[in-house]
Amino acid sequence: MIRSMTGFARIERQYDFGRLIWEMRSVNHRYLDIGLRLPEEFRPLEADIRQSLGQYLSRGKIEASLRFAETAGAKGSGLELNLALARELLEVHGEMARLAKSAHEPDISQLLKWPGLIEDKRPDPAPLQAAAMELLVETVQDLQTGRGREGEQMASAIRERLAGVTTLTESIRSWLPDIRAALKQRMLDRIADLPQPLDPGRIEQEVAILAQKIDVDEELDRLDAHVDEVYRVLELTEPVGRRLDFLMQEFNRESNTLSSKSVDQRTTQAAVDLKVLIEQMREQVQNVE
């Protein structure tokens, strides 16, 4: 089964600590190119995220973004007074007041400026990050499912074109005996118009040389072999985009040779139709993972 490199997936889920939302978009690319947009508290996960995505994806330009909306009043979040430090500061203030024989109460606004007295308590990042990684796997799996559905449609289109290639090669094979006979007759007619007759052996030799120049049996055999190989590759479970792209180049090579050897209007038109089918397959293959 082949997969497209184009897809989109979005999954969001509510947790006690807040809502996580993963979004992924992918388009075709020669290699795997991953772009990430993460909230600050999730940046330590970047390497793990890339590794996880690489286990599911082999090609494509991937844009993955994570959004986090923290639940208001979530346990463990907000500001917290460092009680130990506050008591120590008050003891120091009292000691200073006794030494100075002063009855001034401590200036709370000044004490609040003491470094570390007020701490910003954030949630434990471990559960938060673990949930993000689990949701990441679900999202990339959903992305792959969508790319697989589109890949099935692409495979169907490619198979349809392959059937067209087979029809053309069979038609050309059926025309070849008539083409060779007509070519030989044209040559004999031209020779008959010459003022001096040629040696029959020389005539046969020239006919054989010309027939060899227009012989396309090997090209047709290779086209059939490429068709069989594409059918086989379409059934593989591994990424096959690069292999299919190579096969399209081979198709083009054989069709160009077929066109250059053509001496008949039918085969010339068939070569053009063949190139059209190959180009249509190539357009599909450009988006195969």
* 217, HSE (Cβ side, Cα atoms, 13 Å): 6
pLDDT at 245 over 80: yes
Residue span(s) of the chain under CATH 3.30.230 come to 7-73+125-147
Of 62, 54, 60, 53, nearest to 4 (Cα)? 60
Of the two residues 28 and 74, the one the predictor is more confident about is: 28
Rounded mean pLDDT, 7-12: 96
**Residue, of 118 and 76, whose pLDDT is higher:** 118
pLDDT of 77 strictly over 60:
no
> Which CATH architecture describes the domain 7-73+125-147?
2-Layer Sandwich (3.30)
Contact 7, 150 (CB under 8 A): yes
Mean pLDDT on 149-176: 95
pTM above threshold 0.75: no
Mean pLDDT, rounded, for 255-270: 88
Residues in CB range of 70: below 8 A, 6 or more apart: 17, 18, 77, 123
Find all residues with CB under 8 Å of 53, minimum gap 6, and list them.
34, 62, 64, 136, 140
| Nearest C-alpha neighbor of 281 from the set 239, 238, 249, 240 | 249
Residue 264's φ and ψ, nearest 5 degrees, are -140, 140
Rounded Cα distance between 289 and 230, Å, is 15
